[in-house]
Amino acid sequence: MPFFHCDVTGGLNRLAFSTADDPFYKTSESKYYPEAVVFNSKGEVLARVNPDTRNSADYHMAYLDDVRDNVLKINDDRKIQISFNQIKEAGCMILLTVKQFDPKDGRQIGTEGEFHRAGLRRAKAETNQTLDYCMLKKVELPEDYQELIADEEDDAKPAFRNSLTYIAGALFLDDSGASPNWIFESYKNVFQAKDFKDPGNDVVSAIGALYARATSEYAEQQKVLADASNALKKSQEEKK
């Protein structure tokens, strides 16, 4: 996993998480879009920002289309701006994903090879300085991946679109230190829709459940360790 973990410091208050269908040209159609999902420490979804829900006033996020700018050298098509310094809910996580538009008529988007340079980017919103970048074609696809999966029982049924969800990374508000600080982790993995076909089961809810378990287990472990070391101190004092 091309993983990295870093504290978000140095006056960084506003992030732009963006996608480009092609950084050099405007493509004939739009294929990829960014999505940000905010979870609380229980893994519940507090907010979700994407082309359908463009704003979250509570979590200071906004989705923007058509953001190319020649002067600032912004070669992205869509982005989500996150003013994370205004989010104060301890233990919350913002998951950054890239998804594909799903055409209603079941056709393939664009032409062959049109999206070979598609990428995702995380940048400082004020200056457009790139902090993390990845071309989507470099993210390893599952071995059995097929874009369209025909229905084996009924040929007349339209093929199932096995759309991809890229997990770019996550921002965490870590409150374990003296003062809360934001942490970013970069993952860059991909999940296919066919693995989450059951109703109520999707990538985001699976990750939310995983986050809830990780958070509660970690808190429980910290409590056990604190109790054990207190008991140890007490017994050492008694011995003296």
Partner 1 sequence: MRFNLEQREKSRQIESRDKRVVHFIFNTGLPTKVSPFARKYAKFLDGSLAEFEAAEKEKFAAYAQRLASEELDDGE
Q: Look at the alpha carbons of 100, 142, 116, 97 in this order and tell me if their dihedral is positive or negative.
A: positive
Q: Which two tokens stand for residue 163?
A: 């759309």
Pick the closer one to partner 1 by CB: 30 or 35. 35
The contact mask relative to partner 1 for 79-118 (x = CB under 8 A, - = no) is --------------x-------------------------
Task: Assess contact for 75 and 15: CB atoms under 8 A.
Answer: no
Q: How far is the CB of 101 from partner 1 (least distance, A)?
A: 25
Q: How far is the CB of 127 from partner 1 (least distance, A)?
A: 5
Q: How far is the CB of 169 from partner 1 (least distance, A)?
A: 10
Distance between CA 220 and CA 85 in Å, rounded? 28
List 2, 44, 224, 234, residue binding partner 1 (CB under 8 A) = 224
List 10, 113, 177, 199, residue binding partner 1 (CB under 8 A) = 10
List 90, 135, 159, 210, residue binding partner 1 (CB under 8 A) = 210
SS3 content of the chain, % helix, strand, coil (to 5): 20, 35, 45
Q: Which two tokens stand for residue 172?
A: 């965490």
Contact flag: residue 149 with partner 1 (CB under 8 A): no
Scan residues 67-86 and list those touching partner 1 (CB under 8 A): 71-73
Side chain identity, residue 198: D
Distance between CA 68 and CA 169 in Å, rounded? 23
Burial category of 51 from C-beta neighbours within 10 Å (exposed 0-12, middle 13-18, buried 19 and up):
middle
45: left (phi over 0), alpha (psi -120 to 50) or beta: beta
Contact flag: residue 213 with partner 1 (CB under 8 A): yes
Burial category of 71 from C-beta neighbours within 10 Å (exposed 0-12, middle 13-18, buried 19 and up):
exposed
The contact mask relative to partner 1 for 161-200 (x = CB under 8 A, - = no) is ---------x-x-x--------x-x-x-x-----------
What's the residue count for the chain? 240
List 85, 131, 161, 163, residue binding partner 1 (CB under 8 A) = 131
- Binding residues vs partner 1 (CB under 8 A): 1, 3-6, 9-10, 12, 71-73, 93, 124, 126-129, 131, 170, 172, 174, 183, 185, 187, 189, 206-207, 210-211, 213-215, 217-218, 221, 224-225, 228-229, 231-232, 235
